């Protein structure tokens, strides 16, 4: 007899299918069945069966020439109501205008538990490179996007930077140490009731995003954040009070 708290086979299959879908949260647009199995922590045979079921349901697609899987159009269709609730249909034109103006990809993130999760990206028509794409899920404690949110939190969580300084200058900055270092910048999106609803961020090679460009980019980011704030809606995350938002 199965344990009382053990999920039924149908529920277990759904949980595993979700595990497979979550494998596409990263930067890789296409994955092989073996890569999916490794990321999901499932046997290859189980992963193949689940992936094929997801293909039949339109949630995944399989490239006939490589047999690799990618997110299907059906998943985008299911996501549309959530994007509409966030107000991203109205927000998108402002983000694309900003991206075109500063020639850097613009990302919007919201709080999800202890992480900042990217919910939208607007790429520029020129000067795009992969350095401009942030990780889809970032730590609140150690990233510019997270610091832009935490600096205005009533809890004032401890981070690796001086959050009072972030509050004072109005934006967060992070140097991502890689072979080709990357600079990330983020500003808060402040809603009608002076609550921080999310963060608007950009990143690029630090050799390009130098002090001079930062001085030009940050004001444009602040203006864009102010324009999208009344249009942007969140369904979760902490509420940041007016008192906590006021600059010193």
The domains of the chain, with CATH numbers, are 9-75 (1.10.10.10), 86-245 (3.30.450.40)
Q: Give the separation between CA 232 and CA 193, rounded to whole angstroms.
A: 12
CB atoms within 10 A of CB 223: 14
| Helix H or strand E encompassing 183 | strand 182-190
223 three-state secondary structure = helix
> Which residue's structure tokens are 């997801």?
54
- Write the CB contacts of 235 (distance below 8 Å, at least 6 apart in sequence): 85, 86
Q: Give the separation between CA 132 and CA 59, rounded to whole angstroms.
A: 27
Q: Is the pTM of this model over 0.95?
A: no
- C-beta of residue 119 within 8 angstroms of C-beta of residue 103: no
Q: pLDDT at position 76, please?
A: 66
Q: pLDDT at position 236, please?
A: 45
| Helix H or strand E encompassing 106 | strand 106-112
- Write the CB contacts of 49 (distance below 8 Å, at least 6 apart in sequence): none
Q: pLDDT at position 86, please?
A: 58
* Residue 101 burial (10 A CB sphere; 0-12, 13-18, 19+): middle
Where does 40-145 show beta strands of DSSP type E? 60-62, 69-71, 106-112, 115-122, 137-139
205 three-state secondary structure = strand
Q: Give the separation between CA 75 and CA 60, rounded to whole angstroms.
A: 7
Which residues of the chain, if any, have pLDDT below 50? 1-7, 157-160, 235-248
Q: Give the separation between CA 94 and CA 200, rounded to whole angstroms.
A: 12
Q: pLDDT at position 153, please?
A: 66
Q: Give the separation between CA 197 and CA 89, rounded to whole angstroms.
A: 16
Q: pLDDT at position 238, please?
A: 43
Q: Give the separation between CA 144 and CA 172, rounded to whole angstroms.
A: 5
């Amino acid at each position: 007899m199965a344990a009382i708290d053990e999920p039924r086979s149908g529920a277990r299959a759904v949980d595993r299918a979700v595990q497979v879908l979550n494998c596409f949260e990263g930067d890789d647009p296409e994955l092989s069945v073996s890569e999916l199995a490794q990321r999901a922590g499932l046997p290859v045979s189980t992963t193949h069966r689940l992936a094929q079921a997801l293909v039949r349901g339109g949630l995944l697609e399989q490239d006939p020439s490589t047999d690799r899987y990618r997110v299907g159009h059906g998943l985008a269709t299911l996501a549309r109501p959530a994007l509409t609730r966030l107000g991203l249909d109205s927000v998108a034109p402002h983000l694309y205008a900003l991206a075109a103006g500063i020639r850097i990809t613009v990302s919007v993130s919201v709080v999800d538990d202890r992480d900042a999760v990217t919910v939208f990206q607007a790429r520029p028509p020129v000067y795009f490179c992969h350095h401009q794409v942030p990780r889809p899920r970032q730590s609140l404690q150690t990233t510019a996007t997270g610091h832009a949110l935490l600096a205005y939190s009533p809890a004032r969580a401890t981070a690796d930077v001086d959050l009072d300084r972030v509050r004072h200058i109005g934006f967060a900055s992070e140097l991502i140490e890689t072979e080709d270092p990357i600079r990330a910048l983020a500003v808060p999106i402040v809603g009608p009731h002076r609550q921080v609803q999310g963060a608007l961020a950009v990143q690029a090679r630090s050799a390009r995003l130098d002090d001079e460009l930062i001085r030009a980019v940050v004001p444009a980011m602040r203006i864009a954040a102010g324009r999208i704030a009344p249009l942007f809606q969140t369904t979760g995350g902490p509420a940041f009070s007016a008192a906590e938002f006021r600059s010193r």
